[in-house]
Each structure stands twice: as structure tokens, then as C-alpha cells.
Amino acid sequence: MSRFDLSGKSALVTGGAQGLGEGFAFALAEAGADVVISDIQDDLGKQTANRLAKVGQRTGFVHHDVTVEDDWRNAVATTIDLLGGFDVLVNNAGIEITGLLTAFDPDDWRRMFDINVVGMGLGVKHAFAAMSPSGPAGSGGVVINVSSVAATIAHPALAGYSASKSAVDRLTRVAARESGIFGYGVRVNCIYPGLVPTEMGTRLAGDIVTVGLAETVELAVRGVVEQTPSGRLGEVADMASAVVFLASDAAQFINGAGIPVDGGMGM
């Protein structure tokens, strides 16, 4: 059996309707896990879950705004109900709003922090409650928070997003400490993806042009590639491989860590 085999594991992926979250859901299922995806996009989320079902694992979709605590209660209960357990949370849902500091918009920053930081904090809280020995799932587990290369570099026009993803980094470390101290049996790690041309990544490249940091989208992308020793943008599969690894027993002694998956851009 592969050390990356996730047979018998039950996972919840937030923001799983599209993009990286969709890729994480498929990769986890292909490694043998049963996977519920959650999102605010109900129609797309259901379509993605229907396609995911063809992998052959148990799956489902639940409406879930990660900023709403009742939605977390419902998403976790639905996961346990549909899959019979809850072992892996991929705290993936996030947004990015580009802007130079001279155009600082408090509402944009509050929205990013609400989803990227409060949303992930609620995820940790409800994963601990469900996975710890006294919880309804009760057999420990793994939380994987999706941070960003933006937490490890100083890219102009990304101050708010970088700040929110840096908060995810520290949230991850503190969560791992608390899990250890209180015996929840949950490993907590994060990944720092590099730029991936999902809907978010593609829009970001355009926004870099809009704020005057590159003349064309092609030049904006080339700028990222030139800063990346691996010489290309990231792909969804690159990020998904790291998530499967962290979810698996191959990573059983990796805890409170952040893994760059950025081709070296953030070193």
C-alpha cells in the first residue's frame, strides 16, 4: 500500500467548487479519501461534486460561507453524516483583492481578513471540536491551511492579501501548539502556493497591469516566472500533490509547518 494512500479517510475541502479547491478534492479522492466539498457557489459546487463522484469515492456538496459560524457547524455535521467521519480539513476558501497602499480600502481589507483569516480560524476551531477525542468524529486528523507565496515575499499591490496570508501562517503554528498541548490529535500545517492560473491567479495578473506594475498581462506573468527558479507558473496538480502528502501518514511527523509550493519563488 502507498504511504500516500488515503483510503478510509474523510475530508472536507472549503472553496471546493473550482480552482485549487476543486483540484484538492479530486486529488484526495484519487488517493482514496471520501470528500465533501463546500462553497458559496451552490450550482457550480454541486456540478463539481457530481463529477467528483465519478472517481468512485463517497462525496457530496454543502453550502458553506466560511465567515459564518453556523455554516461551519452544518458543513462539519454534513461531512460526518455523509462520510461517517472527519479526518482531513483543507481550509482553502480565500479571496484576493489587489491594491496599492495609496488606494487602501478598509472594506477590501476587512473582506479579505474575514474570509482568509476569520474563515480559516473558524475552520480550525470546528475541526478541533469534531476531530478531538471528545468530538463526534473523535479520532484526530489533519488540517491543511492554504496560505500563499504572498506571505513569504513583498510583492507590491498585495499588502492586504499578504498580511492576511501571513496571519494564516501564524494561525497554523499556534493551532499546532494548542492541538499538542490539549491532546486533540490534530496535525496542522499550511502550504504557500505560488501563482497558479486559476480564476484568482489569472485575474491577479490582470490587476497587476491595472495598477501600473506591468505593461501587459504577458509581462506580468513573465515577471513571476523570472523570479521562479523552476521557470514556470504553478499548476493545480503541484499544489494538490502537497495537500495529499500532508494529509497522508507519510507526513505523520510534520506538524506546525509551512511548505512552499512555489518553484522557489519565495526562498
Ligand X SMILES: NC(=O)c1ccc[n+]([C@@H]2O[C@H](COP(=O)([O-])OP(=O)(O)OC[C@H]3O[C@@H](n4cnc5c(N)ncnc54)[C@H](O)[C@@H]3O)[C@@H](O)[C@H]2O)c1
> Which residues are designated catalytic?
161
x/- mask, ligand X, residues 172-211, rule CB under 6 A, reads: ---------------------x-xx-xxxx----------
User: Least distance to ligand X from the beta carbon of 147, Å?
Assistant: 7
For residue 190, the surrounding DSSP H or E stretch is: strand 186-193
Please give the residues from 41 up to 60 whose contact with ligand X meets the rule CB under 6 A: 41
User: Least distance to ligand X from the beta carbon of 19, Å?
Assistant: 2
Segment interacting with ligand X (CB under 6 A) among 11-19, 26-34, 174-182, 215-223:
11-19
List the beta bridge partners of residue 188: 143
**198, 19 Cβ separation under 8 angstroms:** yes
x/- mask, ligand X, residues 204-243, rule CB under 6 A, reads: ----------------------------------------
Residue 31 dihedral angles phi and psi, to the nearest 5°: -85, 0
Please give the residues from 108 up to 147 whose contact with ligand X meets the rule CB under 6 A: 115, 146
Instruction: For strands 258-261 and 10-14, give the pairing.
Output: unpaired
**172, 117 Cβ separation under 8 angstroms:** no
Tell which one of 62, 66, 214, 247 touches ligand X (CB under 6 A).
Answer: 66
User: Least distance to ligand X from the beta carbon of 225, Å?
Assistant: 13
Alpha-carbon distance of 264 to 267, in angstroms, equals 6
What are the grid coordinates assigned to 9, written together?
Answer: 479517510
**104, 51 Cβ separation under 8 angstroms:** no
**Max Cα-Cα span within the chain:** 56
Tell which one of 95, 217, 225, 257 touches ligand X (CB under 6 A).
Answer: 95
User: Least distance to ligand X from the beta carbon of 36, Å?
Assistant: 13
User: Least distance to ligand X from the beta carbon of 114, Å?
Assistant: 8
Tell which one of 32, 60, 85, 94 touches ligand X (CB under 6 A).
Answer: 94
Amino acid of residue 106: P
Who's near 102: CB < 8 A, 6+ residues apart? Answer: none
Tell which one of 10, 11, 13, 15 touches ligand X (CB under 6 A).
Answer: 15
**146, 191 Cβ separation under 8 angstroms:** yes
Alpha-carbon distance of 218 to 96, in angstroms, equals 20
Tell me which residues touch ligand X (CB under 6 A): 14-15, 17-21, 39-41, 64-67, 92-96, 115, 146, 148, 193, 195-196, 198-201
